[in-house]
């Protein structure tokens, strides 16, 4: 019974093991132990990691030095490319800062616009017809006085 790996399982003398869990499909003697448990997940096998080539720091340094000695023009071209890249990045920075300012201004105008669209009684204060339609009161002043009266009594 101990071979059955169940969480919080305490076997008693009345528990039995099905014949499917024994090697020959049945228990031959008292010493037979169940070994087949198809419900248990099979352990996953991992692939071996790929072998990596070790390059010592000394070899890397020698390789870089030999490369720069062979082509001095390569170093000059790299410097020119870096200057061009820096100029491009500075231009992008200016363009992005202008875009940020534009978006901030747009945000302010949208906040103002949303404030106008908010639903509230003040939106209908100028129209007695709207107050009558939505609340049933004849005008805004009557609605406000009823509201104040009900707040005092509550």
DSSP string for 13-76: TT----GGGSTTSS--STT------TTSPPPPPPPPPPP-----HHHHHHHHHHHHHH-HHHHH
As a whole number of angstroms, the distance between CA 37 and CA 3 comes to 9
Report angle CA 80, 85, 89 to the nearest 5 degrees: 150
- The whole-number pLDDT of residue 61 equals 60
Helix (H, G, I), strand (E, B) or coil at 101: helix
pLDDT, one tens digit per residue, over 53-69 is 776 666 666 665 555 55
pLDDT, one tens digit per residue, over 19-61 is 666 666 666 666 566 666 666 566 678 888 888 777 666 666 6
Torsion of CA 83, 88, 90, 92, to 10 degrees: -170
Strand spans (E) along 4-127: none
Report angle CA 54, 56, 59 to the nearest 5 degrees: 120
The model carries a pTM of: 0.31
pLDDT, one tens digit per residue, over 114-138 is 777 776 777 777 888 988 888 899 9
């Amino acid at each position: 019974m101990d071979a059955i790996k169940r969480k919080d399982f305490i076997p008693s003398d009345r528990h039995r093991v099905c014949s499917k869990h024994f090697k020959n499909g049945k228990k031959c003697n008292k010493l037979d132990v169940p070994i087949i448990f198809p419900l248990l997940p099979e352990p996953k096998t991992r692939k071996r990691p790929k072998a990596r080539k070790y390059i010592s720091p000394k070899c890397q340094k020698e390789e870089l030095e030999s490369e720069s000695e062979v082509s001095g023009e390569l170093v000059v071209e790299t410097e020119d490319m870096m200057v061009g890249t820096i100029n491009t990045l500075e231009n992008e920075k200016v363009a992005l800062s202008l875009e940020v300012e534009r978006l901030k201004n747009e945000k302010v105008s949208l906040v103002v616009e949303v404030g106008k669209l908010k639903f509230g009684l003040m939106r209908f204060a100028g129209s007695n017809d709207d107050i009558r339609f939505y609340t049933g009161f004849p005008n805004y002043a009557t609605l406000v006085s009823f509201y104040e009266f009900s707040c005092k009594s509550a």
